[in-house]
Amino acid sequence: MSNIKLFQDKKIRSVWNDEEEQWYFSIVDVVEALTDSANPTDYLKKMRKRDESLALYIGTNCPQVEMVTESGKKRKTLAANVKSLLRIIQSIPSSKAEPFKQWLAQVGYERMLEIENPELAQERMKELYEQKGYPKDWIDKRLRGIAIRQNLTDEWKRRGITEEQDYAILTAEISKATFGMTPSEYKEFKGLTQKNQNLRDHMDDLELIFTMLGERVTTEISQKENPDTFQESKKIAKRGGGVAGVARKETEKELGRSVSTPNNYLPDKNNPKIE
């Protein structure tokens, strides 16, 4: 599970390791948060060059972990668990070191609570969307959509489909059949130019509803027919999206307008919320 956490408004990329049951954090992100360096990668290189014991420690204890970059691409990133981060920040002269230690402890504590009670994770997500200005009824749909999406990817995994690029292909089939656009085409339609922008965070209620319908029907068909090849799952994805597509077209006839809108739901000054 990948995530972005905030420390004093600074983004810290993180990945949860299910086997080890611990977080791994991007070391470069942590360095940037603690030093406000314009080039945290170079700062880290100088730290390792200046302190041989630190360089040895990082080389031995800090693995390369796949995380999402600002451009939305997945790249291997030097990462550290909580224990290793505490060792690293000892070498960073920063007044933020102690608050960061407390932040780490809180992050770990919250994750343990969420493992015991998954509803807490959902509540935290609600709070994040509320802070961005989304209304409660939209948030409820968005979270339901996340659960439906998770059920679908779990179903694909049971069919032996595990690669992200395969998920993207199947998702594109559902979206094309539902809206007549792939996700990348839909983002262009909405004017979302940044690769790391989440299309669904910019959809209105109806767009979310038909997205959920296409994915839920796809899951149901797959569970019923038990496909054993990727091509069979691809056909099912198209059929599932087709069901939502028919419903969308009927809805558009009744409303006299398109369900898909170029408007951007994210409520900020650059992307005004649909009223």
Q: List pLDDT tens digits, range 220-230.
A: 999 999 999 99
Q: Please tell me the predicted confidence (pLDDT) of residue 223.
A: 96
Q: Which residues pair with 79 in a beta bridge?
A: 26
* pLDDT at residue 89, rounded to an integer: 82
pLDDT at residue 116 in the model: 46
- pTM assigned to the model: 0.59
The confidence score (pLDDT) of residue 271 equals 40
Q: Which residues of 75-103 are buried (b: 16+ CB within 10 A; e: fewer)?
A: eebbbbbeebbeebbeebeeebeeebeeb
Q: CB-hemisphere CA count at 13 Å for 240?
A: 28
Share of the chain above pLDDT 90, in %: 45
Is the predicted pLDDT of residue 231 greater than 90, yes or no?
Answer: yes
Of the candidates 73, 47, 78, 76, the one whose C-alpha atom is nearest the C-alpha of residue 63 is: 78
Amino acid at 21: E
pLDDT at 57 over 70: yes
- At residue 266, the pLDDT reads 63
Tens of pLDDT, residues 63-90 = 998 887 776 777 889 998 888 888 888 7
pLDDT at 118: 52
pLDDT reading at 99 higher than 70:
yes
> Which of the two residues, 75 and 206, has the higher pLDDT score?
206
Listed by start position, the domains of the chain span 2-116, 120-255
For the stretch 103-147, pLDDT in tens is 666 665 455 444 444 554 566 677 778 877 888 889 989 989 988
Average pLDDT on 143-169 reads 91
Q: Is the pLDDT of residue 32 over 50?
A: yes
Tell me how far apart the alpha carbons of residues 82 and 105 are, in angstroms, rounded to a whole number.
Answer: 8
* Cα dist from 62 to 1, 54, 84, 171, whole Å: 18, 11, 7, 34
d(CA 54, CA 36): 20
